[in-house]
Amino acid sequence: MQLMPQTAAQLGVPNPFDPQANVEGGTRYLRELLERYNFDLVKALAAYNAGPQRVEQYGGVPPYYETRAYVARVVKDFNKKKEAQERSGPVAPAKTAAAAKTAAKKPAPQTAQEKSSAAALQAKSGAGHASE
């Protein structure tokens, strides 16, 4: 992402050349712009590229070739990826780290023979009733 020095300072990004700080600051800035323009992606992208003052001045995307090309390119890429995602069907939600950890702790399903062997071991050791 690209943060102008003044924007980085306003966002509290001490070092815009630090990749993590840059991306965090840039995404926070883009979110602020989306909120400012009532989630109008085109205006938010134009403001990200040319500055909010230019979007206000022109009442939308300013007549700058660079800004218009940037907005068109991002919207085109976004739509292309969204279409591909819709064609591929619903995507199963990714497991969270907690869900993966819980799944790893669960014992594998037992066969009937394994269950009876486990019950016999529990009975011999006096561990109580076997549970399924």
Q: What is the pTM of this model?
A: 0.61
> Domain for residue 77, yes or no?
yes
Q: Which domain holds residue 9?
A: 5-87
Give 19-71 pLDDT, tens digit per residue.
Answer: 888 898 889 999 999 999 999 999 999 999 999 999 999 999 999 999 999 99
In the structure, what pLDDT confidence band is assigned to residue 9 with cuts at 50, 70 and 90? confident
- Looking at the structure of the chain, the number of domains it has is 1
Give the pLDDT score at 83.
Answer: 94
> Domain for residue 116, yes or no?
no
Specify the CATH number for the domain of residue 55. Answer: 1.10.530.10
> Domain for residue 75, yes or no?
yes
Of 1, 11, 93, nearest in space to 48 by CA: 1
